[in-house]
Amino acid sequence: MGQQRIGRIQWGPLTFGPGSPYMVTALDGVDDMPEIRAEDIPRPDQHGDYTGPDTTGARVIQLGLGLRADSPDELRKLTLALRAATQPQRQPQPLQFLDWDTLVYGKVRQRSIPYDAEYLWRTGTAALEVYCADPYLYSLNEYAVSTTAYSPAAGRTYPLVYSGAGPGARNLVLNPSFEETFTTETTGFGTNSTRSRVSAESYVGGYSVQHAISVASAQGGTSWNIEPVAAGSTVQLGVWVKVPTTGIAALELWWRNQTTNLSTTSVIAQARPGSWARVSGSYTVAAGQTCDRVAAVATTSAAGAAIWWADAAMAVVGSSLPAYFDGANGGTWEGTPNASVSGRPAGTGRVYGDAGQSGRLTAINGGASPAYPVLRIDGPVANPSIEQVTTGGGLTLDATIQAGEYLIIDTRTRAVLLMGSSPRRQWVRAGSTWPLLQPGTNTLAYRGSALPGAPGQSSLLTVTWRDTSL
């Protein structure tokens, strides 16, 4: 479900927003319409204009930040880190709105970090202007579907190798989802709180931990042991929680060393009463400290007792929090199942759909604007064609692609590259139309002729895109 609050923003190595020292104070230009480039001309001797298609110019995003530190020296470190991450660029880079599932590509064109001696003890402000020559808003996920050509009789399994989604990561929580009975890897909080491992409620797997807080204005929660993290590293923490519609006044995430709290952040605004929601934050371990536990703790309201649940705890070292995984859900246990760190190898970061049938595939653009897909054709095939069944038209290539060769077609730039680098734009047959994925469901058909001497081999079309809006 979408949320109005902006949440976390990722730019290069820095994360702005909840759980970070960079508070987002203002944001303009994301939901705004970029400037329209109209093609209107006056009607001679008549009222009104002849109007052509409207296109947009670049998108300009204004971002206001509040810097929060514990000392003037720490504030200076935050200023220098922001300055280093916003240098002039040769190429656009992604600006990711992590909780809005939105991505833009831009360059920082202006940066302001004023010096205000009256407030410089631990707070400051900054303003960034990000110029996006490409005005489109994209989904964070990149989607891919594939099908073999209609003509060849035999197919192949695709993807040939799929090693996970996105960058490699390690979930440092040792007993993240309570699929085994309680162990010394977790402990409870609160003298008026009773913890139970239950199957009636769970986000992942078959169990979660239930906290029954028996009195008003009391705390109850769970602490998870994690692999110790040394000073200077940032610990991203996420926990799936379900809180009741009434009865919980506060919800916090804690970063701890044994019984000492290193940092606490309120996440009650991220909860969705009555349903499961992921709450998250981050903490950079200070000099001389070690973080070896994380916790989720709720406080009842003055009205009385309450029950809430937690599941799928995840702690990673890095600049962003990936989707949840453990050794039984997309990862591998490094030691004892449900009592050790779990790892996930690096992958493509793509979400793969079902394979196409009989030379057809379905691509769903969840945005509000047409998406420009990237097409990959793997040989062997002669004269491949891609028909856009939904809207008509198609792209045909007068070409032969041998086994082991592939062709990349970028429908936005209209580049046609053999083996991803050698231009072959001349292969596009005159009269072809470049496929666009309209909002909603799109059906594409892939056809081609088999090459002599390649029995049992079939060509493959893979279509890759992101949900797209303006």
Tell whether 179 and 292 lie within a shared domain.
yes
| pTM > 0.85: yes or no | no
Which domain does 191 fall in, by range? Answer: 169-344
Tell whether 177 and 315 lie within a shared domain.
yes
Sort strands 36-37 and 9-11 into parallel, antiparallel or unpaired: unpaired
Please tell me the total count of domains within the chain: 3
Tell whether 61 and 151 lie within a shared domain.
no
The closest of 175, 313, 296, 194 to 243, measured between CA atoms, is 296
Distance of CA 61 to the CA centre of its chain: 19
Tell whether 290 and 374 lie within a shared domain.
no
CATH number at residue 85: 2.40.30.200
The answer to whether position 185 is within a domain reads: yes
> How would you label 276-311 residue by residue, b for 16+ Cβ within 10 Å and e otherwise?
bbbbbbbbbbeeebebbbbbbbbbbeeeebbbbbbb
Tell whether 293 and 361 lie within a shared domain.
no
> Quick one: pLDDT at residue 158?
42
Tell whether 201 and 331 lie within a shared domain.
yes
Tell whether 335 and 410 lie within a shared domain.
no
The closest of 301, 310, 188, 298 to 241, measured between CA atoms, is 310
Tell whether 156 and 193 lie within a shared domain.
no
Tell whether 34 and 150 lie within a shared domain.
no
CATH number at residue 198: 2.60.120.260
Please state, in angstroms and rounded to a whole number, the distance separating the CA atoms of residues 453 and 447: 19
> Quick one: pLDDT at residue 1?
47
425 in Cβ contact with 415 (< 8 Å): yes
> Quick one: pLDDT at residue 272?
80
Tell whether 176 and 96 lie within a shared domain.
no
The answer to whether position 4 is within a domain reads: no
10-residue mean pLDDT profile of the chain (470 residues): values are 74 86 92 90 91 91 92 88 91 89 92 79 89 92 80 40 54 89 82 89 86 93 94 92 92 91 90 85 92 95 92 90 81 88 70 56 89 90 88 86 87 88 89 90 87 67 90
48 in Cβ contact with 68 (< 8 Å): no
The answer to whether position 1 is within a domain reads: no
CATH number at residue 456: 2.60.120.860
Q: Is the peptide bond before 380 cis (omega within 30 degrees of 0)?
A: yes
Tell whether 13 and 67 lie within a shared domain.
yes
Tell whether 358 and 334 lie within a shared domain.
no
> Quick one: pLDDT at residue 427?
92
